[in-house]
Amino acid sequence: MSISAIRKHRSPMVAALVLTGILTVIQSGAVATAAPPELPAPPVPVQPALPFPIPPAPPELDPAFYAPPADIVAAKKPGEIIAAREVHLAFYSVLPFNIDAWQLSYRSTNTRDEPIAAVTTVMKPRGDNKGEPRNLLSYQFPEDSNANYCAASYALQQASVPGTISGQFDIPFEFVAPLTGLGAGWAVAMPDHEGPNSAFAAGPLGARITLDGIRAVENFAPMGLNRDTKVGVAGYSGGAITTGHVAEMKASYAPELNVVGVAEGGNQPDLRTTVNTASNNLGSALILNGLFGVAKEYPELAGYIQQHMNPLGKALIPVGNSLCLYSAGIFPFMNLPGLFDEPDPLHQPIPNQVFDKIRLGHAVPDMPMFIYQSNPDEFAPVGPVNQLVDQYCTDPKARVQYVRDNFSEHITLEIISMPRVLVWLQDRFNGVPVESGCSIHDEGSMALDPATWPVWLRGVSNLLGGILQQPIGSR
């Protein structure tokens, strides 16, 4: 009955009864009022790039972008963009590349399920890709440092302090790999996967940041991607720590993402074994920094270190947390367990609990895997990698190709493996099927694979063309 009909009733009692009936019907849901559709979040404005030669601020001096207010972060969903800006990327911070690039600040989650802000640097190839959907490469660099200025988002920018000065040696030369992917027409994301506290070697944290970074890139309209985008994931050494956890956690943390393949090398699936191997060896300080990095994400380990580490070890914490890879040269050949006042400190209850949380092997990845390792690796022992692959391969649904390189060590394999990784990912993007099961074999050198030789030429061509201001990715 309409309101006008109610007015026709001269009895106030009747009118009241009718109104009561209408209200009752509405409250019971018999009269449905269509709820307004949920509108998508408005696009975040994109800040213009800094004009050269104004240098970018390192993350420690750029809190507005890297550390937005906690209430703003908490109000977002994982992968939702907080801020965006254009950036100029350059060869060793000096010679700019003719590419479209942005940085995204977005919401992620730490290992205690608390909201955090994270940052990824993204590149889009020039050209329209002949109307075909673009593929996305998420590339995790080996930051291997506990300071934020050592992260990719700063090290890759034009006019940043060059890696040869800052001590961030890995990212500038390894940039050739994602740059070659860009030249193949792939979109590229390069997350600061160590997070806002630069927690080196905290793999589960890096996986969350990386997966949310993929979500953020797919949410960023200028990239032209969506949830159907084919995603390949790759990383070496410190980048492989995160990449391995991405492979294991994707099904539970971000099942909607279309990850078609994961490639990882220089793997360290069990940090405790890595620490034991590094003790009294050349790379002891670098691995000790990994222990300090994990403590940034796991307060219980930080408390254990403060309680049981001797004065020399504690004195190295601020040094390791303030330098890039220069910290690896401080006090080589250290006896790492000897820095503690307890026997066998790596197996005490608290470290044991944390090491179990950050080891690989908690789940079998649900996508094809390309795992490669140097047999004589001096930083990342091959034994735990063999065990991890054996564990994966007990699952009949596992799809793993495992290659052991016999002529390389950790650093040389980092370089010569790049073309092989890109060829393998190209097959995944092209839909080349991967049968269930495992393929495990040894090679003299991955560099001797003739299928990878043209990729070397394309990488050099992209690099030189980019330096000469040719657009990269135009097809």
CATH number at residue 93: 3.40.50.1820
On whether the CB atoms of residues 333 and 383 are closer than 8 A, the answer is no
What is the pTM for the complete model shown?
A: 0.90
3-state helix, strand, coil split of the chain in percent (to 5) is 45, 15, 40
Planar angle of CA 122, 83, 79, nearest 5 degrees: 70
Backbone angles phi, psi at 108, to 5 degrees: -130, -165
32 has pLDDT over 80: no
pLDDT-derived band at 475 (thresholds 50, 70, 90) equals low
Residue 475 lies in a domain: no
Q: Rounded to an integer, what is the distance from CA 5 to the centroid of its chain?
A: 65
Please tell me whether residues 207 and 280 are part of one structural domain. Answer: no
Q: Which residue has the tokens 């090290």?
A: 155
Please tell me whether residues 125 and 238 are part of one structural domain. Answer: yes
- Of 397, 445, 392, 394, nearest to 417 by C-alpha is 445
pLDDT attached to residue 131: 80
Please tell me whether residues 344 and 442 are part of one structural domain. Answer: no
- CB-side neighbour CA atoms (13 Å) of 1: 17
Residue 40 lies in a domain: no
Q: Among 357, 375, 409, which residue terminates a domain?
A: 357
Q: Which residue has the tokens 């270190």?
A: 305
Phi/psi region, residue 75 (left: phi>0; alpha: psi -120 to 50; beta: rest), is alpha
Residue 346 lies in a domain: yes
29 has pLDDT over 70: no
Please tell me whether residues 191 and 333 are part of one structural domain. Answer: no
Residue 335 lies in a domain: yes
Please tell me whether residues 337 and 418 are part of one structural domain. Answer: no
On whether the CB atoms of residues 424 and 455 are closer than 8 A, the answer is no
Please tell me whether residues 292 and 261 are part of one structural domain. Answer: no
pLDDT attached to residue 40: 56
278 has pLDDT over 50: yes
Residue 38 lies in a domain: no
Residue 36 lies in a domain: no
pLDDT-derived band at 126 (thresholds 50, 70, 90) equals confident
Q: Among 357, 385, 404, which residue terminates a domain?
A: 357
How confident is the prediction for the chain on average, in pLDDT?
90
pLDDT attached to residue 14: 37
Cα separation, 23 vs 27, in Å, equals 6
pLDDT-derived band at 460 (thresholds 50, 70, 90) equals confident
Please tell me whether residues 96 and 186 are part of one structural domain. Answer: yes
Q: Is the dihedral of CA 358, 359, 362, 365 positive or negative?
A: positive
CB atoms within 10 A of CB 348: 14
- Strand arrangement, sheet containing 399-405: 46-47, 81-86, 100-109, 115-124, 187-191, 136-140, 231-236, 259-265, 369-374, 399-405, 437-443
Please tell me whether residues 167 and 228 are part of one structural domain. Answer: yes
Q: Rounded to an integer, what is the distance from CA 277 to the centroid of its chain?
A: 26
pLDDT attached to residue 41: 65
54 has pLDDT over 90: yes
Residue 417 lies in a domain: yes
pLDDT attached to residue 31: 38
Please tell me whether residues 363 and 250 are part of one structural domain. Answer: yes
Structural domain range at position 322: 272-357
Please tell me whether residues 127 and 229 are part of one structural domain. Answer: yes
Range name among 209-218, 287-296, 417-426, 453-462 with the lowest pLDDT average:
453-462
Residue 251 lies in a domain: yes
Q: Among 329, 357, 385, which residue terminates a domain?
A: 357
Share of the chain above pLDDT 90, in %: 82
367 has pLDDT over 70: yes
Which stretches of 359-434 are DSSP H helices?
382-392, 410-416, 418-429
Please tell me whether residues 67 and 116 are part of one structural domain. Answer: yes
The total domain count for the chain is 3
Please tell me whether residues 126 and 59 are part of one structural domain. Answer: yes
Range name among 101-115, 117-131, 195-209 with the lowest pLDDT average:
117-131
What contacts 436, CB < 8 A, 6 or more positions away? Answer: 396, 397, 398, 399
pLDDT attached to residue 28: 40
pLDDT attached to residue 474: 67
13 has pLDDT over 60: no
> Cα dist. 439→33, 96, 245, 251 in Å?
59, 41, 21, 23
225 has pLDDT over 60: yes
10 has pLDDT over 90: no
pLDDT attached to residue 79: 98
pLDDT-derived band at 462 (thresholds 50, 70, 90) equals confident
pLDDT-derived band at 420 (thresholds 50, 70, 90) equals very high
